[in-house]
Amino acid sequence: MRQRVFTIIENSPLTDRVSLLRLRGDCSEIQRPGQFVDLALPGFFLRRPFSVCDWTGDELRLVYEQAGQGTARLRDLPAGEKLDLLTGLGNGFDLSRAGDTPLLVGGGSGVSPLLGLARRLRKQGVQPRVILGFGRVEELFLTEDFYRLGLTPTVTTEDGSFGIRGLVTAAMDVPHSFLYACGPLGMLRAVSEKSPAPGQLSLDARMGCGFGACMGCSIRTVNGPKRVCKDGPVFDKEELLWDD
């Protein structure tokens, strides 16, 4: 983990509710896709956690959805503005377990970290299958970025306005060696139950610190209590307890 100042290069809407934030700064602390950054916003006490969408050299990409007051403030920040980030947080996805035919499943803002993951899997010579779930056609984002990697993502929309109608699970009947998923908890659970393969899931939690100091983000696992921010946010599917 490092504290670094980044400069906004671009902050532009991808859809009504989702924006792309391109930042310039020192990305050296980011080691794996699925790690996250914790961003200090002027006027707010707590930092906001966002998954690393992708990074190259000194450019960091985040994708954020409008959730409340902080993300509303973030949307107003112009290029040139400086942001204080804790970077390289969390464990990230383990690429060594992908196998030949990994399946990537993302829902809503959970699509974001899968792009960085897909790029690095491609670099390893692996061709992942990708399923991206949205509410309706107007909400699609990042799908072309997956095409640019030479991938053909399967898109699902809940109202059927694009791709397959239904939830991501409606498109999951494909054989796969390993599952990587990020999205709302309900989706993660459904996806995890549907997949016969081993896998890793990226979880979300309310955070106090983002780096393991406050015990604000704890979950119970088969291996005892874990901190989503420090021991996660990526957990082995087999490690999670779904009962509470």
Ligand X SMILES: Cc1cc2nc3c(=O)[nH]c(=O)nc-3n(C[C@H](O)[C@H](O)[C@H](O)COP(=O)(O)OP(=O)(O)OC[C@H]3O[C@@H](n4cnc5c(N)ncnc54)[C@H](O)[C@@H]3O)c2cc1C
Q: Which residues sit at the interface with ligand X, rule CB under 6 A?
A: 36, 46, 48-51, 63-65, 67-71, 109, 112, 204-207, 233
CB of 218 or CB of 221, closer to ligand FMN = 218
Among 115, 217, 234, 240, binds another protein (CB under 8 A): 217
Q: Which two tokens stand for residue 236?
A: 């082995």
- How many whole angstroms separate alpha carbon 241 and alpha carbon 239? 7
Among 198, 213, 223, 238, binds another protein (CB under 8 A): 213
User: Is residue 208 at the binding interface for ligand FMN, with CB under 6 A as the rule?
Assistant: yes
144-183: which residues touch ligand FMN (CB under 6 A)?
none
40 binds, among another protein, ligand FMN, ligand X, none (CB under 5 to 8 A by kind): another protein
Contact 15, 138 (CB under 8 A): yes
Number of residues that bind another protein (CB under 8 A): 26
Smallest gap from residue 202 Cβ to ligand FES (A): 14
User: Is residue 215 at the binding interface for another protein, with CB under 8 A as the rule?
Assistant: yes
Helix (H, G, I), strand (E, B) or coil at 135: coil
The strand pairing partners of 6, in sequence order, are 83
CB of 64 or CB of 176, closer to ligand X = 64
Smallest gap from residue 214 Cβ to ligand X (A): 12
Smallest gap from residue 209 Cβ to another protein (A): 4
Beta strands in the chain (DSSP E): 2-13, 18-24, 36-40, 48-51, 54-56, 59-65, 82-89, 102-107, 129-134, 154-157, 164-165, 178-182, 199-202, 218-221, 224-227, 234-236
Smallest gap from residue 239 Cβ to another protein (A): 16
> Using CB atoms within 10 A of its CB, is residue 66 exposed (0-12), middle (13-18) or buried (19+)?
middle
Helices vs. strands in the chain: H and E counts, helices first: 4, 16
Helix (H, G, I), strand (E, B) or coil at 9: strand
Contact 217, 226 (CB under 8 A): no
CB of 160 or CB of 208, closer to ligand FMN = 208
182-221: which residues touch ligand FES (CB under 6 A)?
207-210, 212-217
Render 49-82 in DSSP notation, one character per residue.
Answer: EEE--EEETTEEEEEEE--SHHHHHHHTPPTT-E
Residue in the shown chain whose Cβ atom is closest to ligand FMN: 214
1 binds, among ligand X, ligand FES, another protein, none (CB under 5 to 8 A by kind): another protein
Contact 235, 226 (CB under 8 A): yes
Q: Which residues bind ligand FES (CB under 6 A)?
A: 207-210, 212-217, 227, 229-230
Q: Which residues bind another protein (CB under 8 A)?
A: 1, 3, 40, 44-47, 86, 205-209, 211-220, 225, 230, 244
